[in-house]
Amino acid sequence: MERLDLLSAWQIRAGIEAGDFSATEVAQASLATIREREPRIQAFLQVCDDLALKAAAATDARRAAGQKLGSLAGVPVAFKDNMHLVGSRTTCASKMLENYESPFTATCVRRMLDAGATPVGKTNMDEFAFGSSTESSAFFPTHNPWDANRVPGGSSGGSAAAVAAGEVAIALGSDTGGSIRQPAAFCGVVGLKPTYGSVSRYGVVAFGSSLDQVGPFGRSVADVALAMDALVAGGRDRLDSTSQNVDVGFANCLEDPVEGMRVGVIPSLMEHKGLSAEIKEGLEAARKALKGQGVRIVEVGLPNMDSAIAAYYAIGPCEAFSNLARFDGVRFGYQEPSCETLAQQTAFSRAHGFGAEAKRRQLLGAYLLASGVYDKYYYPAQQVRTLITSDYAAAFKRCDALLLPAAPTTAWQFGHMSDPTQMYASDLFTISNNIAGNGGVCVPAGLGSSSGMPVAVQLQGPPFEDKKLLQVARAVERGIAHAGLFEPNTVAPSFVERGGDGA
């Protein structure tokens, strides 16, 4: 069979249906690729051979019986390790949950399985999704497939790296302040954060409940659209009060013309301190690609965007402190042995079960929610949230989507971001999107002229207009005509030109 790491999800699904190869052969190839590349990449916390082969066998049995195959039949998929899957551990890359076995399956995972996906394993992440580099994992860091000395981004760095390295065709991540889009940018793949409420979060361990959203990584916009159709199939999830009904059809509109659409740019961002020349070049390439397809570029403003980081780091830690209070060494999580009192067990279990960044965020949240402090910081942060949401609403009256950076630079080297506040600032271009709840997608835009690392652009759209957002993303992809793909048989990764079949 053809090499799995060069096949799209669409090609895998079509090949299985045509009988070119079986789902079991695809699963075996994926597992073999993981065994080969994991010593270098370390994208996975757990590889689920038995689950993968069992699911693949079920797909082959359906085909042999002449039954209809799901839209993701036989496609190897990985899940960020904050998503429950029966038969696997859900650790959130934390010692606190190191031995926790999933007692149920998250709705987002279930819907991928219902579409026929082959569950390959659980991917590494920043502990409890606190971070932007996957360095805060309690177990080991994940390496960028393009350069093992660089980070893959975070917190969904394992999922992005697994797709970029050709280990799986699709992976799911979660995005609280950019944790899908930033690692997608660093690893040269497509990453979508859908509109808040589009995808059920039931069974996903919460970081910030008003900010978190599940979304897919893929090698192309077409693969991401295919995954979205699976994620929204079945409509609103009654187990998630924030879940909304979203119609399928993401994969059917990608080739619709974008002529006449308006895409907004924010001039002040192009001069923002810290924005590298490589990122500016990528944005200009995307702008030209869209103009060449009849898109009108208009200038808009987001006047309160510079306040987004301050608002996020008031709201996010407060919600994290509330959500992680359950891990007390008694009801859930790591239990410190040989403690004489309940108070000692709670104190020592939390002290030794959580890593440094998890402690930092919870301490900040506890302080911000304290009497006399809440009114000074948390409440004004929510007011800023309202202003940012209003800014987006005004901007989208003038355009169908926004074009902006996903990150100020390409992937940095390990240890380069030793100051936590410096790493927080790197999320400037993604955080406001979560605060407002709009959809956002990251699309590869070439390789940096000096770093040789993937460069990407970000597109943001109005709430529940994610189909149109992917349509514009496909136009960028089509216009630039390249996609990042790690090539394991060469010393350096190659940038493989993609054909016009949506692969």
pLDDT value, residue 46: 98
Confidence of residue 499 (pLDDT cuts 50, 70, 90): very low
In whole numbers, what is the pLDDT of the chain averaged over residues?
Answer: 92
Domains by residue range for the chain, with CATH: 4-303+386-497 (3.90.1300.10), 305-375 (no CATH)
For residue 492, pLDDT beyond 90: no
Q: Taking residues 104-120, what's their average pLDDT? A: 98
Higher pLDDT, 385 or 501: 385
Confidence of residue 2 (pLDDT cuts 50, 70, 90): low
Report pLDDT digits (tens) over 411-441: 999 988 877 777 877 888 999 999 999 999 9
Lowest mean pLDDT among 177-186, 196-205, 336-345, 465-474: 336-345
Which member of 8, 71, 155, 200 is catalytic? Answer: 155
For residues 394-429, one letter each, b for 16 or more C-beta atoms within 10 angstroms of the residue's C-beta and e for the rest, the string is ebbeebbbbbbbbbbbbbbeeeebeebeebbbbbbb
What phi-psi label fits residue 272: left (phi over 0), alpha (psi between -120 and 50 degrees) or beta?
beta
Q: What percent of the chain has pLDDT over 90?
A: 86
Contact 327, 128 (CB under 8 A): no
Q: Which residue has the tokens 């090949």?
A: 15
For residue 490, pLDDT beyond 50: no
Nearest-5° Cα angle at 143, 170 to 134: 80
Higher pLDDT, 317 or 330: 317
Separation in Å, CA 245 to CA 110, 213, 228, 358: 17, 15, 13, 33
Whether omega for the bond prior to residue 276 falls within 30 degrees of 0, making it cis, is: no
Residue 12 token pair: 């895998």
Confidence of residue 503 (pLDDT cuts 50, 70, 90): very low
Contacts of 491 (CB under 8 A, 6+ apart): none
Residues facing 308 on adjacent strands: none
pLDDT value, residue 482: 54
Instruction: Specify the DSSP element, H or E, that contains 184.
Output: helix 181-187
Alpha-carbon distance 240 to 139, whole Å? 30
Which member of 71, 136, 137, 179 is catalytic? Answer: 179
Residue 467 token pair: 């189909």
Report pLDDT digits (tens) over 335-364: 998 888 989 999 999 999 999 999 999 999
pLDDT value, residue 415: 87
Helix (H, G, I), strand (E, B) or coil at 278: helix
Q: Taking residues 454-483, what's their average pLDDT? A: 92
Q: Among 405, 403, 440, 378, which residue's Cα sits nearest to residue 208?
A: 378
Strand (E) positions, 372-418? 401-405
Alpha-carbon distance 405 to 168, whole Å? 26
Residue 278 token pair: 């490589």
Alpha-carbon distance 466 to 439, whole Å? 6
Nearest-5° Cα angle at 218, 495 to 16: 100
For residue 494, pLDDT beyond 50: no
Alpha-carbon distance 444 to 223, whole Å? 14
Contact 12, 71 (CB under 8 A): no
Q: Is 80 a catalytic residue?
A: yes
Report pLDDT digits (tens) over 225-265: 999 999 999 999 999 999 999 999 999 999 999 999 999 99
The one-letter code for the residue type at 74 is G
Which member of 8, 22, 30, 80 is catalytic? Answer: 80
The one-letter code for the residue type at 28 is Q
pLDDT value, residue 483: 43
For residue 4, pLDDT beyond 80: no
Report pLDDT digits (tens) over 54-88: 999 999 999 999 999 999 999 999 999 999 999 99
Confidence of residue 493 (pLDDT cuts 50, 70, 90): very low
